[in-house]
Structure 1
Amino acid sequence: MKGRDRINSSLPDELILEIFNHLDSKQTRDSASLVCKRWLGLERLSRDSIRIGASGFPDVLVKILSSSFPNVKNLSIDERLSISASLPIQYGRRRHRNHSAVSPLQLHILAGGKTGSEGSSGKNGFDQLEADTYCLSDSGLAVVSNGFPILEKLSLIWCSNVTNVGLRSVAESCKSLKSLDLQGCYVGDQGIAAVGECCKLLEDLNLRFCEGLTDDGLVELAIGAGKRLKSLGIAACAKITDVSLVAVGSHCHHLETLSLDSESIHNKGVLSVAKGCSALKVLKLQCINVTDEALEAVGIFCKQLDLLALYSFQRFTDKSLCAIGKGCKKLKNLTLSDCYFLSDMGLQAVAAGCSELTHLEVNGCHNIGTAGLESIGKACMSLSELALLYCQKIGDLALSEIGKGCKLLQALHLVDCSSIGDDAICSIARGCRNLKKLHIRRCYEVGSKGIVAIGENCEFLTDLSLRFCDRIGDEGLVAIGQCHSLRYLNVSGCHRIGDEGMVAIARGCPELNYLDVSVLQNLGDLALSELGDGCPMLKDIVLSHCRRVTDVGLTNLVNKCTLLETCHMVYCPGISAAGVASVIASCAKIKKVLVEKWKVTPRTRRRAGSTISYLCIDL
């Protein structure tokens, strides 16, 4: 009844909090918090996650947030993002200060809440501004530890001013911590040792690019908090050696995920982990000094292995994959990247032993050819995603076997596979009718025939990328127009495609929201007008280097596609300042326009300067 509050007078706080916990998005929560002061306070109590990008004064910000949201369990601070367009990101210890990036509210806070002449007199405000840092400091981390006492997950991404002092304060106060991400932080052994001493519930630890760590800190952590540790990531930590991995293997018996990228790790460390961590499910290795001996141990001891990724190995041979195929029967995801001494024999061993394989990526393994992939097609019926990158020896017969045997395939990626042509794509189209994603780049033997087969057979296709495949023409896209669920299309560099193909897409794919037609010399205004009529859901379009597109077609497009968020149109001589202005005027949700600087008038710049980016500043 109007004038009466039936909800607040009837429902207790606990019930409203439970309702807030079931809201499925931040936008919905924000809307609910605007109803009244009571709901605002209760919504703040129910909020358990906060994510913070780079900010002008992070120490001040975390203090404000901790007082407003006391029940936060998940806090992420990511300083990889720049504070403003004029403040470029730097991953080092220092950032350039830029006072223009500071908001009046931040200046007000720095001045102690004073306004007018009192707050701006002398140099007090800017002296304090100079003293502050644009990175989270140990003082800010102390606020985090005191303000979020029930914290369970903490991510400090590239917070380069955080030291052992701040990390120790977190460890001593947040003893419920289960996940800690310190990627790019300059912390040392004392801080990590404190985490091991205090955070006995720790399950997930990321130490990628923590260059100050040595074996001393990681050994202490493994001894102190290793019993529950399930996930560990190490990369670019030159002082972490086999000594640390021996400690991990001795104390972290429940470890399930290990990611290693190091030149300092040898067989001894990986052997220790393989023998001591039999529950290991995910193993990612980029360790040039590890040999077959270590992978053979993984095959013997890690029977639960689900994902294996091997990068840039110069000392692995087929013996490794034979051991994996023999011992890791539950393997579902395999990535082989730049492993030059692996051949068809190793892939055949995986196919024979790992019949549950669902994801396979072969990247730059130049000795793996058609026979190895044929064996996958014959044995791994559950394969759902296949990526072949720079595989010059894999030919059509391999994909023919995939088409025959892998009926569940949903994603196929092909890059620079010079021996794969239309026959292979036709086999995939006829056999893998559930295909949803097809990405092909610089496979010059693939032409319209294969793409026509995809359009005629794969009705569930949602994501298609055909980059620089210069044998594909309009007839291919006409067939793709039958895939009415298509949402993503990239045909950049396919110079035979013109208006006819894009008109078919416009008329057949109403759900399209991403389109890249850059470097299409035969594409004109007719295609853009049809896209405006047929694809109202379009959010992102790339028109760069389309010489026949003019203001007329662009205006027709943006008048209908009002949801457009990004538009790239550099080196389009037919588009003028008037066309750029029409994009800004017609698209209320536009976030980024990439264009030559001389095509932006002062009026357009005043109206939407923050959304405009320039590829070439001085043309």
Structure 2
Amino acid sequence: MSSCSVENQNPNKSSPLNFSNLWLKNEKVLDHVVYAALRRFSLSNKHPPSLPPHLDDVTVASSPPQPPTNSNKILAFDFPQIVVSDDFTPLLSDEILLHILSKHPEISQRNSNCLVSKRWLNLQGRLVRSLRVLDWDFLISGRMFFRFPNLTHIDLLHGTVVSNSSTPNLIGHELGSFHISPDDFLCDDHCLLPVDEVDFGLKVLASMYPNLRRLVVVNCSEIGLLSVAEDCPTMQELVLHRCNDHLLCGIAAFTNLQILKLIGVIDGFYKSLVSDRGLTILAQGCKRLVKLELRGCEGGYEGIKAIGECCQMLEELTICDHRMEEGWLSALSYYENLKSLKLVSCKGIDQNPELYEQLGFCQMLERLHLEKCQLRDKQSVRALFLLCQAVVEVVFKNCWGLNNAMFLNANLCRRVKSTSIEGCSRLTTQGLENVILSWKELESLEVISCKNIKDDEVTPKLSALFSDLKDFKWCPGNNTSFLLSTRLSLSDMGKRGGKFFKKFQI
């Protein structure tokens, strides 16, 4: 018998060497087994096997095994493909990402978030609650509803103004920028959209934003306001420019309205009539008002009285540049819960107030603010302080005609704790002293830009009063503040804190 190898005689019987060769011949099967084991291990353990340092924070993407590149290796297989990625936001839901974006405090950073992607742009639009519309087509075309679906505060004032194409250089000007808050105005080179277009825009707006709470609009009618009142039951604040009596018929439908601003007349720009009829309609319809501002209104005693009797929750009343009839001031005694009264840019208080005995006073009034008012009629000024004799805070700011005789009427207010006097050039140091010494409960005093109040005229009694104040600011407008500090050094000012400062002496 010829000698031969065992392998040639019995090919079906495998030796250990043949067994290993069999595995090596089936490298693809081995790759599948190893890959499946690694995948099962990664799914069954919370902490996957650690990767090399240069592969930290990566995403593992599955891919089919590839044939070995080197056939000389005993166990050759491909590891899963590694894809490096730093963006994990696609793994977050819209609700979670919205919650994260809403926590960012800086508005400028929120605006830059819109540049990340289209998804972030849409999410950032869902976070916006307040918007000032500059282009009316942005509202009518419907783009505003898709871009900002959750608005609650909308200002349509700038969008309803159509500028003249011949004066484009006025866009950046103070007048051309269309800011029509109570201190800003429309330019003559601009006109307003027709009433029909504004009403149509209000109808579309109300149908898309049922949760609207604040609205600023100009040149609309009662039809447009009624559509807003029907579709927006949560409306709380309303600002109406170019308001008139007919427009106030639509305001009565806002049952939950709390803040209302009516602008009837702005000298040189537009004029609308708001009389006792419109104020009476307002009083009967909006009984939940808390803040009311009337600018350029021509009402009188009956309209102001109706608001005081019907709007019993009213706490703040602001009257700007009024055209009120004579005797309106006495109607303020019907405001039982009024806490703040502010008069701004009034050429006169009341030319013919009622007799002092019949005026009464506002028992709950706490703050009286007079700004840019002409206080030249002594009788009306005295009647005003009689009505406001219960106030604890008085503010005079840039009031014309406030001299010593006019300021002396403030003695009627015995409970004043805080006062601020700014820009009253006719008031002197003696006139200031005669009044504030009578306020036994005074705790805070500010005197700013009053050129006739001088430091060297401060008496020892007045300096002693200054030393007892909790809050004191003295800047009358001259450059002799050193004289005041020298003169006050003779009094006891600053000695109350002596024990405190001794603790820190070295």
1:194 aligns with 2:146: no
Instruction: Determine the C-alpha separation between the residues in 1 that align with 2:209 and 2:344.
Output: 36
In the comparison of the two structures, how many residue pairs are matched? 360
8 Å Cα contact 2:368/2:388 also seen in 1? no
Of the candidates 285, 291, 294, which is equivalent to residue 362 of structure 1?
A: 294
Equivalent pair of 1:255/1:280 in contact (CA under 8 Å): yes
- Note the C-alpha offset of 1:385: 1.1
- The one of the two structures with greater contact order (alpha-carbon pairs below 8 A, sep at least 6) is 2
Q: What is the CA–CA distance in structure 2 between the aligned matches of 1:455 and 1:561, rounded to whole Å?
A: 34
1:13-412 map, 5 Å: 175-178=99-102, 182=107, 193-195=118-120, 197-198=122-123, 202-203=126-127, 205=128, 231-236=129-134, 240-244=138-142, 247=145, 252=149, 256-263=152-159, 267=198, 268-285=200-217, 290-311=220-241, 313=242, 317-325=244-252, 327-337=253-263, 340-344=271-275, 345-365=277-297, 367-368=298-299, 371-391=302-322, 393-403=323-333, 405-412=334-341
Tell me which amino acid in the other structure corresponds to 2:464.
D
Shift of 1:406: 0.5
Aligned letter for 2:205?
Answer: V
* C-alpha spacing 1:561/1:273, structure 2 compared with 1 (3 Å): farther
C-alpha change, 1:560 and 1:337, in structure 2 (3 Å) is: farther
1:191-212: per-residue Cα shift (whole Å, max 9, x none)?
Answer: 6953454469x55x2xxxxxxx
Structure 2 residue matching 1:321: 3-state secondary structure: helix
**Structure 1 pair 189/520, CA: closer, same or farther in 2 (3 Å)?**
closer
Distance 2:309 2:263 in 1: 23
Match of 2:42 in 1: none
When Rg is computed on C-alpha atoms for both structures, the one with the higher figure is 2
CA-CA distance at 1:335 after TM superposition = 0.7
Report if aligned partners of 1:493, 1:518 keep a CA contact under 8 Å in 2: yes
Structure 1 contact 330–354 (Cα < 8 Å) conserved: yes
SS at match of 1:408: coil
Residue aligned with 1:553, SS: helix
Name the CA shift for 1:336/1:193 in 2 (closer, same or farther; >3 Å).
Answer: farther
Distance change >3 Å, CA 241–CA 273, structure 1 → 2? closer
Q: Structure 1 264/449 Cα, relative in aligned 2: closer, same or farther at 3 Å?
A: closer
CA shift for structure 1 position 466: 5.6
Unaligned runs of 5+ residues in structure 1 are: 1-142, 151-169, 206-230, 564-587, 589-619
Q: 1:282 to 1:523 in 2, by over 3 A?
A: same
Match of 1:540 among 473, 476, 484: 473
| Deviation of the 1:354 alpha carbon | 1.0
Quick one: distance in 1 between partners of 2:404 and 2:231?
Answer: 52
Question: For 1:461, which of 385, 392, 410 is the aligned residue?
Answer: 392
Cα pair distance change 1:294/1:418, threshold 3 Å: same
Give the drift of 1:465. 1.9
Contact 1:400–1:424 (8 Å) recurs in 2: yes
2:316–2:340: 8 Å Cα contact kept in structure 1?
yes
**How far does the alpha carbon of each residue in 1:317-357 deviate from its partner, in whole angstroms, 9 at most, with x for none?**
433221111x1122221112355324223332211211222
TM-score scaled by structure 2? Answer: 0.57
Query: Is the alpha carbon distance of 1:560 and 1:191 closer, same or farther for their aligned partners in structure 2, counting shifts above 3 Å?
Result: farther
Which whole-Å CA distance do the structure 2 matches of 1:485 and 1:363 have between them?
28
Q: Is the 8 A contact 1:234 1:260 kept in 2?
A: yes
Q: What secondary structure sits across from 2:308 in the alignment?
A: helix
How many Å separate the matches in 1 of 2:345 and 2:295?
A: 10
Distance, in Å, in 2 between the alignment partners of 1:247 and 1:508 is 56
Partner of 1:88: none
What do residues 456-493 of structure 1 show as CA deviations (whole Å, max 9, x unaligned)? 96344123326424255257447548645522321532
CA contact (8 A) 2:329 2:384 kept: no
Compared with structure 1, are the counterparts of its residues 354 and 528 closer, same or farther at alpha carbon in structure 2 (3 Å cutoff)? farther
CA distance in 1, matches of 2:134, 2:358: 40
Q: 1:338 to 1:526 in 2, by over 3 A?
A: same
SS of residue matched to 1:241: helix
Name the CA distance, whole Å, in 1 between partners of 2:380 and 2:392.
17
TM-score, normalised with respect to structure 1: 0.48
Q: For 2:427 and 2:122, how far apart are their aligned partners in 1?
A: 65
Over 3 Å counting, the alpha-carbon distance change for 1:303 and 1:192 in structure 2 is farther
- 3-state SS in 2 of match to 1:435: coil
Cα pair 2:341 2:368 within 8 Å, conserved: yes
Preserved contact between residue 407 and residue 431 of structure 1 (Cα < 8 Å): no
* Structure 2: unaligned runs, 5 residues or longer: 1-85, 162-196, 266-270, 496-500, 502-506
Percent of counterpart pairs with the same letter?
Answer: 16
